[in-house]
Structure formats: C-alpha cells, structure tokens
Amino acid sequence: MSIFGATGSIGQNTIDLIARDPDAYDVVALTGASNIDRLAKDAKQLKADVAVTADPMRLEDLRAALSGSGVEAAAGHDAMIEAAQRPTDWVMSAIVGAAGLQPGICALEQGATLALANKESLVCAGALILATAKQHDARLLPVDSEHSAVFQALVGEDMGSVERIILTASGGAFRDWPLEDLAQATLAQASSHPNWDMGQRITIDSASMFNKALELIETREYFEVSPKQIEVLVHPESMIHALVGFNDGALMAHVGPPDMRHAIGYALNWPTRRALPVERLDLAAIGALTFRAPDEERWPALRLAREVMERGGLAGAVFNAAKETALDGFIDGHLGFTRMAEVVDEVLNTSDPSHIDAQMTLDNVQAADHMARQVAKNIIEQTAG
C-alpha cells in the first residue's frame, strides 16, 4: 500500500490503523509536505520503500532524517508522481486540495484500489477519475464519511430503486451564530469544529459549508445520481453520516461516532469488515438526535454547488480552485469569512467559458484550475487594495 498525504489528519488516522498490524501491510510510498519529522518517523516505523516530500527544499532534511534506515528519500512534484506510479494494491489518497488529483490518477493507472479521501479529485475531474478507474480495472472506494455511509447503505441494493441521497452536515463552527456576525468571524473561530478533529482547511470549509458543497458534487460524480436526488440535512450531533432513500419510502441511515477511522477502516478492509478501535455508541445515553433544514442564506456555498452541477463540464475544477484561493485569502487575513463565497461566485461568473467547456483531460483540468486561481487572486487583490 501507499499513503499520499500521510502526515495529515486522514493520513495519520490511516497509519493509526495499519500500525496496529504492521506485518499485514507492505508499505511502498508515504508522502507529505512540510512535516519532515513525522514523515520520516512513520516511513521508518512502517518500513516504507520511499518517503517523498512535496517541498523540494526539504530533500536534505528528509535524507538526514532517514539516514541509515534503508528508506529512500525523494522530493518535489516529479518524485511524488514517480512514487504514485509504483505498483501497489491499495492507496490512500489523502492530500488536501487539487494537488491530490494527479497522484490519484497515477495510482488508478497502475490498477490500484484507490481509497479516496481527496474529494477534490471527484469535484475537479469526476468523469476522468471514473474513466481511468474503468480503463485500468481499478477500484475507487469512498473515504469521506458521508460517502462511505452511502456506499455501505447501498450494499446489495439496485441503484434503480434509489430515490434520494441525504448528506448530513454538522453545520460547523457558526451553525448557531447570528447571521450579521459571520462577516467578522476570525480564523481561530472558523478553525474549531464542534464534532470532528480534521485538518484546518476542511474544518474552515465545514464552517462555510464549502465542504458540504464539495460533497454534493462528489456524490453526484461518485454515485452518478442527478443533482435533484441529493439533499443536505443539518444534523448537529454528527452521528448519522448519510441516509439513502429508496422507492418504497425506506430510509437507510448509517450511524456511528464521528471518527474517520471508521470510513478509513471500511475502505481498508473492504469487502469484508474487521474490528475497529472506534467508540461503540450508547444511543440511550445520547437520547436524541436532531435535524434541521440547511439555511442557504447562511451557507451560500450550497447554492453555488448546485449551479456548478447544473453547469457541468469543468465548472467543478473552477469552483474548487476559486474556493482554495479564497480559503488561502481568508487564512492569510486578506479576505473576510463571508467574502469567500462572494469571490467564488464572481470567479464562476467571470471565468472564460472556454475553460469550462473544454474536454475533460488532466491538462485541461489543470489549465482551468490555474485560470480560476488567477481570476480569484485578482479579485482578492482588488478587494484588499
């Protein structure tokens, strides 16, 4: 197996599971970016063939940290791609952002089973990912908790009897804030999630609902359902991860503690189930689960996702790149919290349509991504200036 984004939240949860039974896994590649100590420590412990940092400036640090261990050190984009092309049976795709797309495609081209935490791959290039998997007889397994939940609710079912898919959302950090306070939300406030412990970027995306917006598109691409069949339901307790509604009126819900090791473990052990070190829910102690409709005024990202699905083509790549750039702007202090959605909206409305209508190839997706980042940066600079 290989783990792309091994040093992040999903990567570390994956390592937590495999490190309990290290002899069961032959680890080929681990990749990371700036956290060299963690990358080297895990690569040595798991006896990986190669450890790769995305940052070429850190090669010497990584070499030094791995010296004498027998683990090869490599750095930079090309090294990342070379590592992703090394044949292996199972790959965790857990890089954050569109940077995860190309390594994932490389893994599929080797016929590996791709456990996909990197939802951006499906948002930017769903049709390409699915076609690549098909062409190379590779399997794609969802790791996003909602999508793993839907996948599990669909075992043994016929997609023709599915009426709707309901994704739950905790509502993030600002679920109960007065609307007029949102524009002033700080980075620290947006970086704290009520239920899940995740990387900073997805935590902020949960507060803005851009995470759920990406997941709407991810659902459409992965399960090949129409946008009208996908609903969002705010569920503050984060115990039900998703529901599937069938044509006989039945709803199948997936219930579990908010712990990503469940979805990761399901993808790791699929098609079987194995015991996992996650909490067993005491529903009597929990007492009640609550639900509410999503408020599109509070979370304009949801409306934007619907527009992107309607538009089709490479609109998802533009949307994601604009969102990543707006998020950088918020993290760097150049953009207020509510401005993120406004910037993304503006990028979608002012982008050269030829990018969105281009054929879905990796080159065209990367060109659309690049263009959208540039447009978003210009908008942010004008605002700041």
Residues at the interface with ligand NAD (CB under 6 A): 5-11, 32-33, 54, 94-96, 99, 117-120, 144, 196, 198-199, 201-202, 260
Residue 279 DSSP label: P
Binding partner at 119 among ligand NAD, Mg ion, none, C-beta below 5 to 8 Å by kind: ligand NAD
Residue 70 Cβ vs ligand NAD, minimum distance, rounded to whole Å: 22
Residue 117 Cβ vs ligand NAD, minimum distance, rounded to whole Å: 3
Residue 169 or residue 321: which is nearer to Mg ion going by CB? 169
Binding partner at 118 among ligand NAD, Mg ion, none, C-beta below 5 to 8 Å by kind: ligand NAD
What is the distance between the alpha carbons of residues 62 and 75, in angstroms, rounded to a whole number?
Answer: 8
Summary count for the chain: helices (H), strands (E) = 17, 11
Residue nearest to Mg ion (CB): 144
Residue 37's H or E segment, with its range, is: helix 36-45
Tokens matching residue 379: 């908008």
Identity (one letter) of the amino acid at 337?
Answer: F
Binding partner at 8 among ligand NAD, Mg ion, none, C-beta below 5 to 8 Å by kind: ligand NAD
Residue 167 Cβ vs Mg ion, minimum distance, rounded to whole Å: 8
Residue 161 Cβ vs ligand NAD, minimum distance, rounded to whole Å: 27
What is the distance between the alpha carbons of residues 238 and 235, in angstroms, rounded to a whole number?
Answer: 6
Residue 95 Cβ vs ligand NAD, minimum distance, rounded to whole Å: 4
Tokens matching residue 326: 């707006």
Listed in sequence order, the DSSP H helices in the chain are 9-18, 36-45, 59-66, 77-84, 101-109, 119-135, 145-153, 187-190, 200-208, 210-223, 260-269, 283-286, 300-311, 315-331, 339-350, 353-356, 362-384
Residue nearest to ligand NAD (CB): 8
Tell me which residue has tokens 């503690």: 257
Binding partner at 9 among ligand NAD, Mg ion, none, C-beta below 5 to 8 Å by kind: ligand NAD
Residue 61 or residue 144: which is nearer to ligand NAD going by CB? 144
Binding partner at 10 among Mg ion, ligand NAD, none, C-beta below 5 to 8 Å by kind: ligand NAD
What is the distance between the alpha carbons of residues 66 and 265, in angstroms, rounded to a whole number?
Answer: 28
Which x/- pattern over 140-179 shows residues binding Mg ion (rule: CB under 5 A)?
A: ----xxx---------------------------------
Residue 199 Cβ vs ligand NAD, minimum distance, rounded to whole Å: 3
Residue 172 or residue 313: which is nearer to Mg ion going by CB? 172
Residue 19 or residue 250: which is nearer to ligand NAD going by CB? 19
Tokens matching residue 123: 């948002």
Q: Which of 238, 211, 51 is nearest to 117 (CA)?
A: 211
Residue 241 or residue 346: which is nearer to ligand NAD going by CB? 241
Tell me which residue has tokens 């908010």: 258
Residue 138 or residue 213: which is nearer to ligand NAD going by CB? 213
52-91 as b/e, with b when 16 or more CB fall inside 10 Å? bbbeeebbebbbebbeeeebbbbbbeebbeebbebebebb
Q: Which residues bind Mg ion (CB under 5 A)?
A: 144-146
